[in-house]
Amino acid sequence: MKVLLRNPRREIEVQGPRTVRDLLGELGLDRESHLVIRNGTLVPGDQRLDDTDTIEIRPVISGG
């Protein structure tokens, strides 16, 4: 699957299906601090991602 990461902006390829939680764990990213988006839709941590998906991972930014 194609994974688009933001901050810093980069693109990587990951082979094989896996859950959102597993993907974030492999990338060393905390689920609570990142949004995972597939086709413009947020996906939950237990959602299975397919090898053909394009995924965007964005850090959660809070401000005031």
What pLDDT does 29 receive?
94
Instruction: Return per-residue pLDDT of the chain as tens, 64 residues.
Output: 999 998 889 999 999 999 999 999 999 999 999 999 998 999 999 999 999 999 999 999 877 6
Alpha carbon 48 to chain centroid, angstroms: 11
Domain 2-59 fold is Ubiquitin-like (UB roll) (3.10.20)
Question: Strands (DSSP E) along 1-64, which ranges?
Answer: 2-5, 10-13, 18-19, 34-38, 41-42, 48-49, 54-59
**What pLDDT is stored for residue 64 in this prediction?**
63
Task: Give the Cα separation of 23 and 63 in Å (integer).
Answer: 27
Structure confidence at residue 20 (pLDDT): 96
pLDDT for 26? 95
| Domain ranges, ordered by start, for the chain | 2-59
